[in-house]
Amino acid sequence: MAKKIEGDFEISRIPPAQPYVLNQEESKRQDAFFTERSIPHVLAQSIEQYITKKVGREWNHPVIIERLRRAIVAQKDDYWKPAQKRSLQYTKGYSVLGYLAYHFPVYFMQTEYLLMMLARDGLLKKSMNILDIGTGPGVVPLAIADFYSRLDDARATVWSLERSEEHIEAFTYLRNACVPPGGRVSVKPPVKTDIRTIDRVALPDTFDLLIFSNVLNELVDPTTDVQADIVTQLSERLAPDGSILIVEPADEENAIRMRNLTITLLKKGLSIFGPCLFLWGSTCTAPRCWSFETAPAIRLPRLMETLAYCEDSYRYVNTDIKYSYAILRRDTLKRKSYHLSAGSRFLRFSKLHLHVGKRINVAGLKMSAELGDARSHVFKLCDGTAKIPVYAVLPSYHISPENDLITSAPYGSILELRNVLVRYNRQHDAYNLLVNRNTRINIENS
Ligand SMILES: C[S@@+](CC[C@H](N)C(=O)[O-])C[C@H]1O[C@@H](n2cnc3c(N)ncnc32)[C@H](O)[C@@H]1O
């Protein structure tokens, strides 16, 4: 920062921006929005109107609805193909219309939850430059504009990158319909580019937040090295106190790949803010780490309801929110500071093999929602040292006031578990830590 003093300039460092902390009213407004579980009416309506405009017939005409159904099924079939056999190019109008009808509502709400998480983590600033990479029809920018509409005076300028013309056209329509010009959030027109080669793209020098939402797994060649190169190249534009949010679908293959990517990014010099914490200081190797966050299912928008009004309705209903995410930074800030050392009265997960059949104490992060059922609760645990996956298993008849915190603790909480029995699960090549009524579990709020 330069200040003119008596014909000279005084140069000083710009003080780091303070986190934007939501006041009570802002939090209340956000909570009310999340309680509704619906995408904003104006957005749902604009998606319908865009479809009508694109196809030249009412969006709910039976022929159009049938074509949308076919596009959704084709897109899902494509998604589940091995990466090198997928097309997912979004060059045809209907592929984008199918995306708007089926994927958009869930990803939009998911982004709203992620923004709330960033706010709670103190990672939003009063004024931010944000870059959304692989924006599609503008899911993330539109969610940012909506989230900020419930804040009092935070501002953001959102840039985005996208290669598909069809997506850009949908983005532009929705932006014009839903984001008032001159508001506190300015959504810039998306830049058409391939994110693997962005050298010549005109963008601001620094961003406070880079978002990769459901894009890295859709690259034509989604190897960890290619993904890591894209993230590291863009991270050069990250402010020293900025954050990178990577979000990927929660299915086993994509979630595991995402976690491996974060470990590669660590080796390239970025650091992990969350959800991972390496409690013993050493970096983990992400052994088959299938970890994802969940949020309440959304209410069916009218378009999805119309699509689902048929025999195979389940094919057209997409309301569950499940996602794998990581926040990375250039500095070493962490979501929580909690460290274990040799003197701690807990066993490292890397030593579990020496204690099979014994009762031990451990500390670890809860890294899943419920993976079991009403008879037997199962949760993934991690302390950053495991060589194979570790799960806490709590039979329902052993639930007690001393151990039931594990069922309600949020994703990413640090738990201390005292008196659990170590079992090796041969079928899954994993360790199960059996929790019984003599186990005490508490949550660490450091
Ligand atoms: C699944 S969509 C995600 C859209 C949005 N971010 C969301 O979360 O809903 C993936 C987007 O990434 C874009 N994409 C994939 N590879 C790309 C590349 N190499 N360059 C630019 N965009 C790409 C696709 O065109 C598509 O719009």
DSSP of 62-90: HHHHHHHHHHHHHHHHHHTS-GGG-----
Alpha helices for 103-184 (secondary structure H): 104-120, 139-148, 165-178
Ligand 1 neighbourhood includes 98 CB (under 6 angstroms): no
Ligand 1 neighbourhood includes 184 CB (under 6 angstroms): no
Task: Say if strands 430-434 and 390-395 run parallel, antiparallel, or are unpaired.
Answer: parallel
Distance CA 103, CA 375 (A): 33
What the block records as the tokens of 282 is: 């050493």
- Cα of 324 vs centre of ligand 1, distance in Å, is 17
pLDDT at 87: 62
Ligand 1 neighbourhood includes 163 CB (under 6 angstroms): yes
Decide if 435 contacts 420 (C-beta within 8 A): yes
Distance CA 100, CA 321 (A): 16
- Cα of 130 vs centre of ligand 1, distance in Å, is 16
Q: 163-178: string of b/e by CB count within 10 Å (b at 16+)? A: bbebbbebbbbbbeeb
What the block records as the tokens of 317 is: 């209903």
The one-letter amino acid at 297: A
Ligand 1 neighbourhood includes 102 CB (under 6 angstroms): no
Q: What is the DSSP string of 278-335?
A: -TTSSPP--TT----EEEPPPPPPHHHHHHTSSTTGGGG----EEEEEEEEESS---S
Classify residue 445 by its DSSP letter: -
pLDDT at 1: 62
Distance CA 340, CA 400 (A): 27
Ligand 1 neighbourhood includes 134 CB (under 6 angstroms): yes
pLDDT at 380: 97
Ligand 1 neighbourhood includes 359 CB (under 6 angstroms): no
Q: Class of the 349-444 domain?
A: mainly beta
pLDDT at 169: 97
pLDDT at 85: 65
Which secondary structure element, helix H or strand E, spans residue 27, and what is its range? helix 24-36
Which stretches of the chain drop beneath a pLDDT of 70?
1, 13-16, 81-91, 446
Report the nearest-CA residue for atom 4 of ligand 1: 136
Ligand 1 neighbourhood includes 256 CB (under 6 angstroms): no
Asked if 38-329 and 349-444 have one fold, the answer is no
Q: How far is CA 346 from CA 339, 341, 352, 360, 403, in A?
A: 11, 9, 11, 8, 17
pTM, two decimals, is 0.94
Q: Which of 163, 167, 193, 322 to mutate to test the pocket of ligand 1 (most atoms within 8 A of CB)?
A: 163
Ligand 1 neighbourhood includes 111 CB (under 6 angstroms): no
Q: 38-329 maps to which CATH number?
A: 3.40.50.150
pLDDT, tens only, 152-168: 999 999 999 999 999 99
- Cα of 214 vs centre of ligand 1, distance in Å, is 7
Decide if 251 contacts 314 (C-beta within 8 A): no
Domain boundaries, the chain: 38-329, 349-444
Is 8 in a helix, a strand, or coil? Answer: strand
Report the nearest-CA residue for atom 16 of ligand 1: 219
Residue 166 phi/psi, 5° resolution?
-65, -40
Ligand 1 neighbourhood includes 170 CB (under 6 angstroms): no
Residue 208 phi/psi, 5° resolution?
-90, -20
Which secondary structure element, helix H or strand E, spans residue 55, and what is its range? helix 41-55
Distance CA 367, CA 382 (A): 7
Q: How far is CA 298 from CA 31, 182, 193, 255, 282, in A?
A: 14, 30, 32, 21, 39
Q: Which of 97, 215, 230 to mutate to test the pocket of ligand 1 (most atoms within 8 A of CB)?
A: 215
pLDDT, tens only, 77-105: 877 766 666 666 666 778 899 999 999 99
Q: How far is CA 62 from CA 173, 300, 438, in A?
A: 24, 19, 60
Ligand 1 neighbourhood includes 213 CB (under 6 angstroms): yes
Ligand 1 neighbourhood includes 194 CB (under 6 angstroms): yes
Distance CA 272, CA 135 (A): 23
Ligand 1 neighbourhood includes 110 CB (under 6 angstroms): no
Distance CA 6, CA 402 (A): 68
